[in-house]
Amino acid sequence: MDAIVGKLAVEEPDISPVDAGKRPTEAEALEAVRTIIKWAGDNPDRQGLEETPQRFLKAYDEFFRGYRLDVADVLDRTFEETGGYDDIVLLREIDFNSHCEHHMVPFIGKAHIAYLPTDRIVGLSKLARVVEIFAARLQTQEHLSAQIAHAIDYHLQPRGVAVMLEAVHHCMTLRGVKKAGAATITTQFKGAFKADPALQAKFISLVRHGA
C-alpha cells in the first residue's frame, strides 16, 4: 500500500509550454532577426540575406517544436499484455538534437532509456518520442535527463527508470574553450534503479555492451 501511495504522490512533470499569448508576433520576430544581422555587421537587405529572417523563423519553429507538444499525448496508450515480463526494457542509441539554453547553439548526442514495467508497457517508439519532445526545447543536458526520467516515471508508474544521455555541446566545441569532441554524460535514476547499484550497473552494461 505504501508503494502505491508513493507512486500517486509523484508530481506531474514540468511539460507545460510557454503561454502562447506572450509570444511576439511574426513581424516582431522577423525584425529581431534583422537587428541581429545588423548587429553582426552585415546588411539584412542585401540579396543573400533578404530572405534569411523568414528562413530563420522556419528553422527555429522546427528546432523548438517541443513547446507545442505534450508527452502525455505520447504516453497515454499502454499495453497490459506483458506475459508476466518484469525485467529491464531498454531502448538505446536514440539520436537527439537540442539547443543549449545558455548560448542557443546545438548539443547533439544519443539517449539510452530503460524502465522496469509493473503491469503495463509502452510502445518503444514512444520512448524515442519523449526524448524528441523534450530535446526540441531550450535545455541543459541535466534538465533534459531529469525531464525524460520524470515523465516516464509519472505516466507509466514503473518500478524504476534509468536515463543516460551522451552529447557533444557546440557551445564548448565551437566557442569558449573550443575542445572538439569533448562529450558530456548525464544519468538519472528513479525507483528501483536509484535504490539498487547492481541494477544501475546492469543498465550501464547493457548500454555499453548489450549484455
The catalytically annotated residue of 31, 143, 166, 171 is 171
Asked about 155 being catalytic, the answer comes back as no
Asked about 200 being catalytic, the answer comes back as no
Let me know: does 187 contact 166? Beta carbons within 8 Å: no
The catalytically annotated residue of 26, 50, 102, 142 is 102
Question: Which amino acid belongs to residue 149?
Answer: A
Question: Which amino acid belongs to residue 39?
Answer: W
Give the residue ranges of DSSP H helices in the chain: 2-8, 26-40, 52-63, 71-74, 124-135, 141-156, 170-173, 192-195, 197-209
Strand 138-139 to strand 89-100: parallel, antiparallel, or no bridges (unpaired)? parallel
Asked about 112 being catalytic, the answer comes back as no
Let me know: does 193 contact 114? Beta carbons within 8 Å: yes
Gap between the Cα atoms of 203 and 211, Å rounded? 9
Asked about 80 being catalytic, the answer comes back as no
Asked about 81 being catalytic, the answer comes back as no
Chain position carrying cell 523563423: 57
Asked about 143 being catalytic, the answer comes back as no
Asked about 169 being catalytic, the answer comes back as yes
The catalytically annotated residue of 141, 147, 188, 200 is 141
The catalytically annotated residue of 99, 150, 155, 169 is 169
The catalytically annotated residue of 31, 103, 143, 166 is 103
Active site residues: 100-103, 141, 169, 171
